[in-house]
Structure 1
Amino acid sequence: MEISVIRTEKVQVKSLKVEAGVRYWEDAEVNGTTDETGEAIPCRVGDAWCPVIDLETGAIAGWPENTLARIHYKVCDAGRYALLDNDGQEVAVKDGYVPGIMSPGGQGYGDYIIMNVGPTGVIENWDSRDIEEFEGAGE
């Protein structure tokens, strides 16, 4: 006789991989200029904004040096957010609403990504402890 069981384990997480369907690209400024078409923002892939963020430091991987961004993207429930372990493997995934960690620049209400990214690619006011929403969200 067999049954399926769910096991919970503690795992170390290193980064957050984001795939956010952006409704209005013009809701961001890159180097002080409104990004009307979304072509100036780093980490754009098709119709999505896809940064990989170091959880400890708030640094966005591959962010071009001396690029500043003020982001206020409306995403609503068009996103996928995955915590990655030290090997880059997804260990917890949230689909849908924007997790609070993605709005260190204001209240996102689950619908908005709100943040400022400095010239070294580090997100201002990043709080790596704000990952409670991922607790129990294994793949």
Structure 2
Amino acid sequence: MQATYLEVCAQVRYWEDATVNGAEDTEGTLIPARVNESWRPVIRLADGLVMDWPQGTTADIHYKVCDAGEYWLLDDERKRVAKWAGFYVPGDFLCHGDNGYGDYIILKVGADGLIEKYRAPKIEMNCGCDEDDQSGWALVA
């Protein structure tokens, strides 16, 4: 399986937990990649570039998501190849520079669209041997 991107669909509990260009985003109207009530960025796994991020925009994100998110690995053509098996935020992928304890997405995005302190995460597949196993990535059929 070749994974190039991470697609996020997070139901953000408190939009005001982010600042965009230094301003508190009290209504969630400033943050790029918001679609209705979800935050839906696509992140390139190799270097932490948030795709289609507006040049010159910075963001300090500390979103509480809890169990209200879905996450997919995408191939080069941005087709879904695997889905996160758990209910919690995959921290190795979405918490850089802090610990989100499974409930938070914590990122600082620079003006160039790169996530600060980004380290490419290791992709661990879900074994599929226990239907209650909520760790790792499960292949999309």
Matched, 1:99 2:126: no
Partner of 1:138: 139
Q: How does 1:109-128 map to 2 (within 5 A)?
A: 109-128=101-120
Which is greater in Rg? 1
Query: Given residue 92 of structure 1, which amino acid in structure 2 is its aligned partner?
Result: A
Partners of 1:13 and 1:123 in 2: CA distance: 18
Partners of 1:32 and 1:133 in 2: CA distance: 38
Structure 2: give runs of 5+ residues left out of the alignment: 127-135
Structure 1: give runs of 5+ residues left out of the alignment: 1-10
Q: Secondary structure at the match of 2:16?
A: helix
Partners of 2:60 and 2:37 in 1: CA distance: 18
- Report if the CA contact (8 A) 2:6-2:73 is conserved: yes
Query: Given residue 35 of structure 2, which amino acid in structure 1 is its aligned partner?
Result: V
Q: How does 1:1-139 map to 2 (within 5 A)?
A: 11-94=1-84, 96-100=87-91, 101-132=93-124, 135-139=136-140
Partner of 2:131: none
**Displacement of 1:137 after TM fit?**
1.1
**Displacement of 1:122 after TM fit?**
0.5
Partners of 1:55 and 1:116 in 2: CA distance: 16
TM-score by length of 1: 0.87
Count, aligned residues: 129
* Structure 1 moving runs of 4+ over 3 Å: 133-136
Provide Cα deviations, 1:5-29, integer angstroms capped at 9, x if missing partner. xxxxxx1110000000000000000
Q: Secondary structure at the match of 1:104?
A: coil
- Report if the CA contact (8 A) 1:99-1:133 is conserved: no
- Cα RMSD over matched residues? 1.4
Partners of 1:133 and 1:19 in 2: CA distance: 20
Provide Cα deviations, 1:48-91, integer angstroms capped at 9, x if missing partner. 10000000010011100110000000000100100001122111
